[in-house]
Amino acid sequence: MSEYRWFNSHEPQTLQIAQILLYLNAVLALLSGALSLPILLGAVAAFGIANEKKWWGYWLGVVVSAYAVGRYIELVIEDVSLIKVITIPAIFAVALLVALLHEQSRSYKRIWFK
C-alpha cells in the first residue's frame, strides 16, 4: 500500500476545501484546454497538502493561489469590462487563498506538517 494519498480527510475543513479547489482548478483547466504551469503547480500543491508537506505543499498552494488572485486583479485593471467574465473564477481564487491562510489551516500546518 502506498504511503501517499490524493486527499486527506483528517485535515481541517479549510485544508480539505483548499485541496478540492486546487484539484478542481486543474481538472477544469484540463477539460477546457487551458492547462498552464500555475494550474499544474496547484494540483501538485494539493497533493502536497494531502500528504502534509509544509514547504512544497502548503507554501506552493499559497503562492499559486496568490498568483491567481493577483492575475485576476491585473486583468480587471487592464480591462474593466472583463469583470463580468471573471467574477466567479476570481471568487473561487480568493476563497482558495482565504482557506489556505485561515488560522485553522495555519495552526494545523504549524503542528502537523513536516
Helix runs in 33-78, H state only: 37-50, 59-78
Among all chains, which residue has been given the C-alpha cell 469583470? 83
- Tens-digit pLDDT profile for residues 11-50: 999 999 999 999 999 999 999 888 899 999 999 999 999 9
Residue 95, exposed/middle/buried by CB under 10 A (0-12, 13-18, 19+)? middle
| Whole-number average pLDDT of the chain | 93
Q: Which three cell numbers stand for residue 89?
A: 473564477
Longest Cα–Cα distance of the chain, Å, equals 51
pTM of this prediction? 0.90
- Tens-digit pLDDT profile for residues 68-78: 999 999 999 99
Q: What is the pLDDT of residue 1?
A: 53
Nearby residues of 10 by Cβ (< 8 Å), 6 or more positions away:
none
